[in-house]
Chains A and B, each alone.
Chain A
Amino acid sequence: MGLIENAERPNFILTTIDTLLRWGRSHSLWWCNAGSACCSLEFAAMGGARYDMDRIGSGLVRASPRQSDVLLIPGPITKKMAPIFVRVYNQMPDPKWVIAMGSCAISGGAFRESYSMTRGADTVLPVDVYVPGCPVRPEALFYGLLKLRARVRGTSNIGLAHREPIYVPPDLPPEWEAEVREFLGEHEAC
C-alpha cells in the first residue's frame, strides 16, 4: 500500500510517521558494497577501528543487496561491470541511495579515455552523493555519508509515489549492448 508514499497531501499523523521513519532511515543506512577497486580499501578502512562507521549506525555491510540501503560504487565501472551494477541496484528494495566514491566513479578519472570504461556512475545509475578523491580518504567518505544522512532525513516522502516516477534502469548504449551480448553469448556457451 505504502501509506506515506501514496498519500495525496500531508496531515498531522502522516507527517509524524514520516518524520519518525526518516529519522530511522537516516540513522541506519546499511551498505551494499560491490567492492571493485582501490576505493573499497578505504571503505574497509572506514569500517576499521580508527574511523568506525558503526558509530552512526552504518556499520553493517550486507552482502545481499536485498538488505541494504546504500549502494556504494567504490571504483571504476567498466562496460562489462555496468550491467552488474544496474542489476544489483535494481534488486535493492526501495528506498535506496547511491554513493559514487572516487574519481573513477564520478567521471572515469584516470581511465576516462579508455575503451572499456563508462565515464562515471551517473551514466548508468542515479547517483545521490559524489565523493571526490583518488582514492577517497575514509574521512571524506564519512563526510559524504553524513551528507547523505542529512538528505535522507531532510526529504519528506509524503506523496513521493505521485511525484517521482519509478526509476527505470537506463538502457545501455547500443554499442555496449552489442558488446555485452557478444560476451555473454560466448560466456554462456562455455
Chain B
Amino acid sequence: MDTYANLAALVLAGLVGLAFVFALYGAVKLLAPSRPYALKNATYECGHDPLGEAWVPYRLQYYAFAIIFLIFDIETAFFYPIVLVWRQIGTLALVETLIFVAVLLVGLLYAWKRGVLKWD
C-alpha cells in the first residue's frame, strides 16, 4: 500500500511539474506580444545567414566513451545489490568485488592505452 501511494505521489509530482511548465507557457501566451516575421524567426548565427544545415551527420568525438559508459553503467547496477548486503556477506563480498573491479580496471586501462580516452 505504502509503495503504491509513493508511486502515485511521484506520478502526481511529475504531472504537477508538467502542468506548471505549461501554465507558464500559457501565461506567456496571454501576456507577451507576438509579432513574428521571417527575419525574426530566422536562425541566429552571429548576425549572418547561416551557411548550410545544422542537422548534419555531426562528428561525435565520444563515440568510444559512450560504449565504455554503457559498460560502467551496467557494472554499477551489478554493484548495487552486493553493497546493500555487504555487511552480511563480509570478506567474501570484498574479494568478489575486488576481482570484478580489477577486471573492469584492466578494461579501462586497455582502452586508455589504445587512446580511446582521448577526446579528439
Interface residues of A (CB under 8 A from B): 1-5, 17, 21, 34, 64-66, 83-85, 87-88, 90-91, 93-95, 157, 160-161, 166, 169, 188
Residue among B31, B39, B40, B44 making CB contact with A4, cutoff 8 Å: B31
* Interface residue tally on B, bucketed by range: 10 to 19
Q: Contact residues of B with A, CB < 8 Å?
A: 29-35, 37, 39-40, 42, 44, 47-48, 51
A188 touches B29 (CB 8 A): no
Query: Could you jot down 25 A-B contacts, CB within 8 Å?
Result: A1-B30, A2-B32, A2-B33, A2-B34, A3-B30, A4-B33, A5-B33, A65-B44, A66-B44, A83-B47, A84-B47, A85-B47, A87-B42, A87-B48, A90-B37, A90-B39, A91-B40, A91-B42, A91-B44, A93-B40, A94-B35, A95-B33, A160-B33, A161-B35, A188-B51
Contact A166 B37 (CB under 8 A): yes
Instruction: Add 14 more A-B contacts to A21-B31, A65-B44, A90-B40 (CB < 8 A).
Output: A1-B30, A1-B34, A2-B34, A17-B31, A83-B47, A85-B47, A90-B37, A91-B39, A91-B40, A94-B32, A157-B33, A160-B33, A166-B35, A188-B51
Known contacts A90-B40, A91-B40; is A84 also within 8 Å of B33 by CB? no
CB of A5 to closest CB in B, whole Å: 4
**Candidate in B29, B33, B35, B44 with the most chain A CB atoms within 10 angstroms:** B33
B interface, by DSSP: helix, strand, loop or mixed? loop
Q: Is the CB of A3 within 8 A of B31?
A: yes
In the complex, chain B residues whose CB is within 8 Å of the CB of A166: 35, 37
Task: Give, as a whole number of angstroms, the nearest-CB distance from B3 to chain A.
Answer: 43
Q: Which residues of B contact A88 (CB under 8 A)?
A: 47
Q: Contact check, B29 vs A1: say whether CB atoms are below 8 A apart.
A: yes
A87 touches B39 (CB 8 A): yes
Cα A160 to Cα B32 in complex, Å, equals: 12
Cα A34 to Cα B48 in complex, Å, equals 13
Report chain B residues within 8 Å CB of A188.
51
Give the CA-CA distance A104 to B44 in the complex, in Å. 26
A157 — which chain B residues lie within 8 A by C-beta?
33
Which residue of B has the minimal Cβ distance to A166? Answer: B35
Instruction: Determine the distance from Cα of A17 to Cα of B31 in the docked complex, in whole angstroms.
Output: 9
* Nearest 8 Cβ contacts at the A-B interface: A84-B47, A5-B33, A90-B39, A2-B33, A3-B30, A94-B33, A88-B47, A166-B35
Which residues of A sit under 8 angstroms from B47, Cβ to Cβ?
34, 83-85, 87-88
Q: How far is the CA of A111 from the CA of B91 in the complex (A)?
A: 82
Measured between beta carbons, the chain A residues less than 8 angstroms from B35 are 94, 161, 166
Chain A: which residue is nearest B29 at the CB level? A1
